[in-house]
Structure 1
Amino acid sequence: MTSQFVLTMGRDALTMLLMIAMPVLGVVMAVGLLVSIFQAVTQIHEATLAFVPKLIAAVVVFAIAGPWMISSLVDFLRRTIEAIPSVVG
């Protein structure tokens, strides 16, 4: 196992992590921004008003993009596990 292989695997893992997390993080950040603007305009400072819409948005994104996320992770893990014999031997 060379250091180049380890760095490549680490880079691929971080890329996969970002690719999987980005849809959920993007939507939750956008909903949080909209709720914050709404709270600033109406001067309503309720903690649940900030939390519940973000939670609902995250659940919706997981429901829509969940199958893609799981299939991407399974493909990455399959490639990683199949590469073990070539690395060890």
Structure 2
Amino acid sequence: MTPETVMEIGVQTMEVTALLAAPLLLSALVVGLLIGMLQAATQINEMTLTFVPKLMVVALVLLFAGPALLETLLGFTIRLLEGIPELIG
């Protein structure tokens, strides 16, 4: 296993991680931004007000995007496991 192969696997791992995390993080970011603007407009400074909507939106995104995220993760894992003989020899 060459250093280039290790770096390539590392890069692919980071790409898959970003693909898996992006929908959840972006949805939480958008909801947090909208609630932050609402809080600024109404001058309500309650920290728990942002937590529950973010949690619900992340759960909904995970519910709807979960199968696609799982397929991405499984595809990467299968490619990695199938490539073990090539990496060893």
Smaller-chain TM-score range? over 0.9
Counterpart CA distance in 1 for 2:76 and 2:10 is: 12
1:48 Cα deviation after fit: 1.5
Is the partner of 1:87 in helix, strand or coil? helix
Among the aligned pairs, what percent are the same residue? Answer: 39
| Structure with bigger RCO (C-alpha 8 Å, 6+ apart) | 2
Aligned length: 89
1:21 Cα deviation after fit: 0.6
1:45 Cα deviation after fit: 1.2
Taking structure 1 as the reference length, the TM-score comes to 0.97
- Computed over aligned residues only, the root mean square deviation of the Cα atoms, in angstroms, reads 0.6
Which runs of at least 4 in structure 1 moved beyond 4 Å after TM superposition? Answer: none
2:77 aligns with: 77
Taking structure 2 as the reference length, the TM-score comes to 0.97
The amino acid across from 2:50 in the alignment is: A
- Unpaired segments of 5 or more residues in structure 2? none
